[in-house]
Chains A and B, each alone.
Chain A
Amino acid sequence: RAVHAHDSADASPTAPVKAVSSDPFQAPPATSASLMDQPDVAASADAGPKAAATALPHEVPGGLSNVPMFVEVTTYLSFLLLVMLAHVEDFFGKLFMPQKYKQLRVQNGFAPMVKDFESMWIRHVYFRLRDCFNRPITGVAGGRVTLVDRVSKDYNKTFQFTGRLRNVLNLASYNYLGFAQSEGPCADKVDEALREGGVFQGSPVAEAGRTLLLAETEDMVARFVGAEAALIVSMGYATNALNIPTLATKGCLIISDELNHNSLVTGARLSGAEIRVFRHNNTRDLEKQLRRSIAQGQPRTHRPWKRILVVVEGLYSMEGEFCKLPEIVELRRRYKFHLFVDEAHSVGALGKRGRGVCDHFGVDPREVDILMGTFTKSFGAAGGYIAGSRALIDHLRLHSHSAVYAEAMSVPVLAQVSSSMRMIMGEDRENAVLGQQKLDQLAINSRYFAQGLRDLGFMTLGDAGSPVVPLLLFNPAKISAFSRECLRRNIAVVVVAYPGVPVNSCRVRFCISASHTVEELDYALEQVSEIGDLLMLKFRKPTATKSIAGLATKHD
């Protein structure tokens, strides 16, 4: 099946000409000239909507440079209307129906749990959309998922189950390689490990929690990502929040991307280091920050920093964008900081061999000081790891809160990690082909779906090859409309609104999985196209006038 690696209609006149490669994994090499001398062109390694750098103070988050002004203005007006209505409703409600607002006042001598203005968004906006979020499911959330149907008779304040179950296409779960299955070779190994090793370790790793399975899995993780050693933590969030304070202390500097995940922010705050932020994926801003910080030194004393740590993510899940790793590595060579890459979404999902963002860009993993990732998204397990040089990991084993106090990862989860990673690496003799198939299928599926959406005329974000495809909806009302229409057509999606994302870019985030078949993706494209016509979401000029369902059979 011929799949284009990128969309040539998107190329701006100033972008360098990129060769279309037939190999879906090939990423063109980034230039290594000094970034300060280059004109301000966002040189992403893969084509995608380009971030416009203008002299105006207006910020244009990457990919949103071609939005019609009509859409922008109506989006702001919608939000303005929502807020005004919320204020009016609160005002008159408190006057005429005070018992509805009882919980926001002092009652029985108890202060209210939330202030009324602080909860305004939740009460007036979130409650209207509540049926689109947190839908209860039953069974495993794989390529398809079974939702428990529910209705609300009081505008989403309470829900009642209808008793029906609904099997829907799952474009909402992080299941990149399709390991979320309750049957199969991994599940068998988990069963075996459960019978042999029990359910939990019952002890921190530093005391008695370090078993043979854990040691082997840590070695395997280190080999997988290309580092010398690795440390496994039983919780993904805690991997960041508890290990960054060990890596950076007071007197250090942490420069983090402005859209970094909450766990990285928590870890940075806990560390006591000075935190600076650079504009998302903007290596020029990073360089400016670096130069400024190095020249100025620590805040009051102007002494040199003890350590400078630059924290980025491999794949930003809300934008579907990769970090600009080659450029950042080039900066690292010049300015000699330590680089921390959080590959929560990219490990297992990117690169020819699934090794993550280093594999995708062809960067030597030894150029990244600390490689962190989670097992939740691609491996169907839970928890996270940190990989780096042996000295670093030894230090973490002695000084990190997670290694000394936190309980070791539980046995079945560890067995799942071990068996799925072995399968992807090809070390599992019986299932070697299956592992590589999953990697290839994910690459093909994500490019196919993203390209299909763009051909239909939708505005999507993200770089080519990203398994997360955000589609822009803009107006807040379209969020609930899109989600409900999809549910009616048996598709489960995740919609994201302000304040999770900037005001003018509400989106629906499709998560593609290797377990999605082409027929399912075609069905999804067809249905999304219909919904797009209903809701006026096709802001680009479509290059395919009708849905491309059936394209697969034609080329096969």
Chain B
Amino acid sequence: MGAAVDHVSPMGMSGGSAEGNNKSDGQRFSCKNKLTALVVDNGAVCRAIQTALLRSYGVETEAVETGEAAVQLIASGATFNLIIIEMLLPVLNGPETARQIRAMGAQSKILGISAFFDERHQQEFLAAGADRFIEKPLSPEIVIPIIWVLDN
């Protein structure tokens, strides 16, 4: 298997569960069903943050560094409710990654993400089969409604 998957974040966070995260106080949104997500980003900081954010809502999240790794993972049979793909990945870029994932029949919600909002990039991503394109950072305002829809 060639895909290098980042199952454990450096912080040792749990994989997230449908029962919700571990916050004992405050009311943090949490999904009811088992949802899964894949983060595809060549930057360690963004990978870690996006993964932690999704896991905090109970979404089981994996992260990979490259488009190729994402494609391999899905080709090997892994399925995800949500896939977040950075635009400027080296070699296989974001839209191309999305295209190949769609070509394999994946029904996942695909979110293209980038440091800078750019209409050209948005068009590329949407044409490749992404559902949406947003500018970083991945925020609760963006992600909670997406999770909610997937959950219901």
Same complex: no
